[in-house]
Amino acid sequence: MNMLNAKASSTDSLQVWLSRLHNIFIPLAILVGAVAGILVVKFNQPVTILLTLAGLVVFAISIYSMEFGLLVLTFITYTRFSDVVVQYHNAPSVAKPFLVLLILAILLRWVIYLEAPRAWLVPALLLGIYGLAGFASIVYSPVPDRVWGGITDFVKDAVIAVVVVILLQSKLSFRRVLWTLIIAGIFMGSLSVFQYFTKTYDNEYGGFAVTGLHQIVGENDEYRVGGPLEDPNFFAQIMVVLIPISLERFFHAKRTRMRFLALMGAVLSLLCVLLSYSRGGFLALVVTMAVYFYFYPPKRTQLPLLIVAMLVLIPLAPPRYFDRISTLTEFIRPKTTLRSNELSFQGRLSENLAAWEMIKSKPLFGVGLRSYNYLFPTYSKSLGLALVATEREAHNLYLEITAETGIIGLATFSLLIFVSIRTLLAARRKFLWENLQEYAQMTTGFMAGYIGYLVAATFIHGAYPRYLYFLVGVALSLKQLAQNEASKNANNA
């Protein structure tokens, strides 16, 4: 009887959706046609026209289904779609106007349907406190313009996080966000893996698969995939997140075709981590899998699948991959000196020590948001560690935050991360309490990937912070989401 009721409810929802779509089709068609005509006559820019029309359609649909807008935001954020079309196709920014339209849609639904945004105040407060620490760092910065630029970018990313919290209010939306992330991983992973094995490195596939020749071990160079981020280490960081999410869906999704899709996402994401040659990505992957299997140890029926997967994927690892990973043993060898034979280790050592000198010089508020790379030559010269006194990044997110925004900045950032992880654990417990096992499993997969991202941040700086704040938004939304589902269960009881 419950199954019949569920099917009936699903059918009713579909009919309501089709009815709403039919009501807006005619005015939407008129609007799209008019805008298309104006753009073609005035600008004659096909890419701009396509993106504008797509944005109008998405905006119109989002007024009726905010979940649709959330899924689009998820995809364009994780694939870096907006930056790619700007950089490689000379098109206008997609993310900024889309975010404005999405906020407008939220306000319109508030006015029309009386659906007031919920559960956004605490996340906004946490993000605001950290933002204030960044703003306070302007006191000591020799380049205040960089601080203002950093604050502006932070506000944009923080708004994305808050919008995600507002829109992610149901378990079905959470499920679909995870599937959208998996699809984004398949999209990026397919291009990068195909590019690597076909050796078509000169083809950047529209800007979504950028590969460069980098030093691997000693004087040996190899191509390392960078996806739409252009940097292999950052690409490995975001793909590590998708591995436990995909793996969890492969183990627990009910439909065979969905499990196959999840397996594809896991394999392609893992291959991208391997093909990136990222040592930080490798360590993050180890921690990620340890976290996931701590909560869900592999069953006897799953162990053979994992063994077979390892036997198949290991031969696909790129040349000298394990040689590069073996260089990590330099950190556990007994030393009487801080020197290393690895050029990349030498560079990162100088960058980290320079960050430490900045922390000692301005411990409370730091040297200024986004001021590290500007000040690096000065501090590296005084230490005598850098061979070339050029602007360089910290290659450690936490040292970068402390150097630029001081102990105050690190404390507020740590609070944000602590609350987000605690929220994930609380949501998982709530789902288990409400007997929503599948959503507890999905929360665990996401949490493992999120922790993997934070581990990888130990080895790279915050060049692409939008990913972090998107993940923070998802994490901070889940406790309220779980409470919403508990309320529904109580009302249905």
For 81-124, write each residue's pLDDT tens digit.
989 988 888 877 878 888 888 888 888 878 877 778 888 999 99
- The number of folded domains in the chain is 3
Is this prediction's pTM over 0.85? yes
For the chain, the average pLDDT equals 83
- Residue 14 banded pLDDT, cuts 50, 70, 90: very low
Q: Please check whether residues 202 and 215 belong to one and the same domain.
A: yes
Q: Please check whether residues 130 and 163 belong to one and the same domain.
A: yes
pLDDT for the residue numbered 336: 44
Q: Please check whether residues 111 and 184 belong to one and the same domain.
A: no
149 within some domain: yes
What's the burial of 214, exposed, middle or buried (CB within 10 Å: 0-12/13-18/19+)? middle
Q: What's the pLDDT tens digit per position in 141-165?
A: 888 888 999 999 999 999 999 999 9
Residue 2 vs residues 9, 382, 437: alpha-carbon distances, Å: 10, 72, 18
Q: Please check whether residues 309 and 373 belong to one and the same domain.
A: no
Cα 193 to Cα 112: distance, rounded to the nearest angstrom: 46
Q: Please check whether residues 391 and 468 belong to one and the same domain.
A: yes
Q: Please check whether residues 470 and 450 belong to one and the same domain.
A: yes
**8 Å CB contact between 377 and 386:** yes
- The more confident residue out of 235 and 11 is 235
Q: Please check whether residues 59 and 157 belong to one and the same domain.
A: no
Dihedral, CA of residue 322, residue 324, residue 326 and residue 332, to nearest 10: -160
pLDDT for the residue numbered 391: 74
208 within some domain: yes
Give me the residues paired with residue 213 across strands.
Answer: 223
pLDDT at 43 over 70: no
158 within some domain: yes
53 within some domain: yes
CB count, 10 Å around CB of 105?
A: 22
Q: Please check whether residues 238 and 211 belong to one and the same domain.
A: yes
Q: Please check whether residues 395 and 272 belong to one and the same domain.
A: no
pLDDT at 203 over 90: yes
Cα 14 to Cα 188: distance, rounded to the nearest angstrom: 31
Q: Please check whether residues 298 and 314 belong to one and the same domain.
A: yes
Domain that holds residue 72: 20-116
- Residue 345 banded pLDDT, cuts 50, 70, 90: low
- Residue 271 banded pLDDT, cuts 50, 70, 90: very high
Query: Under the phi-then-psi rule, with left for phi > 0, alpha for psi from -120 to 50, and beta for the rest, what region is 253?
Result: beta
Cα 78 to Cα 160: distance, rounded to the nearest angstrom: 12
**8 Å CB contact between 66 and 109:** yes
* Closest C-alpha to 166, from 101, 95, 70: 70
pLDDT for the residue numbered 471: 97
Boundary of a domain, candidates 302, 327, 352: 327
| Side-chain half-sphere CA neighbours of 154 within 13 A | 22
pLDDT at 10 over 70: no
Residue 16 vs residues 8, 53, 67, 488: alpha-carbon distances, Å: 12, 25, 15, 21
CA-based angle 445:284:358, to the nearest 5? 125
pLDDT for the residue numbered 184: 96
- Residue 5 banded pLDDT, cuts 50, 70, 90: very low
Percent of the chain clearing pLDDT 90 (strictly above): 50
Q: Please check whether residues 111 and 126 belong to one and the same domain.
A: no
Token representation of residue 358: 């900045």
Q: Please check whether residues 458 and 419 belong to one and the same domain.
A: yes
Boundary of a domain, candidates 327, 354, 387: 327
9 within some domain: no
Cα 81 to Cα 76: distance, rounded to the nearest angstrom: 5
Boundary of a domain, candidates 74, 90, 116: 116
203 within some domain: yes
| Secondary structure (3-state) at 220 | strand
pLDDT for the residue numbered 1: 45
Token representation of residue 454: 């934070």
CB count, 10 Å around CB of 469?
A: 21
Cα 269 to Cα 59: distance, rounded to the nearest angstrom: 31
